[in-house]
Amino acid sequence: MVTAGPTREYVDPVRYISNESSGRMGFEIARAAARRGWQVTLIAGPVALETPAGVRRIDVVSALDMLVATRKAFRAADVLYMSAAVADWRPKRKLSGKWRRKDDGSEQTQLELVKNPDILATVARHKGARMVVAFALETGDGVRRAQAKLRRKNADWIVLNDASALNAPVSSVTILGRDGSMQRRKSSSKAATAAALVGLWDRERGGP
């Protein structure tokens, strides 16, 4: 199973907090996995991408929706690629009507936010024999931070992205393993990176 894209956290019926994730990396992983004959469930946030052939797609909007769908699919999964860019925070309240710019003379306002659950950490806590691949986008001291994140979230691998990866067709990534391994892939297409990530399964199982 693969999660992909951003989540959207609504403030009112027409406004939301989200991020720049395009979902491309996750969709490429789903495509590469389906090509290998795997049964693939793709849990996608709001993205404008076509579903790869042979992939079962579940569309979600918010982090809470994604948590429900991910928990359910994880039970039957052997591998999780958690490439979604889950919004860390959501508005405490969603207004039922439009948030109006009342003409009360105030030049400031505040939006109360509450923390979203950590979907990956929640499901990976009891991962058993499943292989779990996390993703991270870091600014500064990326390798050390990503290694710490890998352990904190109980993942087997973490894919460290450069900030340039957001919304781009090409990216440089570093794949870090729980075993301390580190593989740097410079300016590869997301399709090539996806194929390498699907190949982690063979490595995990002692294959070629």
What are the residues binding ligand CTP (CB under 6 A)?
A: 63, 82, 84, 86, 88, 116, 118-120, 134-136, 149, 153
CB of 5 to ligand CTP, least distance (A): 10
Of 94, 70, 54, 53, residue with least CA distance to 5? 70
Q: Active site residue: 19, 116, 154, 161, which one?
A: 19
CB of 192 to ligand CTP, least distance (A): 20
Which C-beta is closer to ligand CTP: that of 134 or that of 195? 134
Which C-beta is closer to ligand CTP: that of 40 or that of 84? 84
CB of 87 to ligand CTP, least distance (A): 7
Cα separation, 101 vs 178, whole angstroms: 50
Let me know: does 99 contact 17? Beta carbons within 8 Å.
no
Let me know: does 163 contact 137? Beta carbons within 8 Å.
yes
Which C-beta is closer to ligand CTP: that of 32 or that of 63? 63
Judge whether 19 counts as a catalytic residue. Answer: yes
CB of 191 to ligand CTP, least distance (A): 20
Which C-beta is closer to ligand CTP: that of 98 or that of 182? 182
Q: Torsion angle, CA of 202/171/21/180, rounded to 10 degrees? A: 50
3-state secondary structure of 208: coil
Cα separation, 176 vs 152, whole angstroms: 14
Active site residues: 19
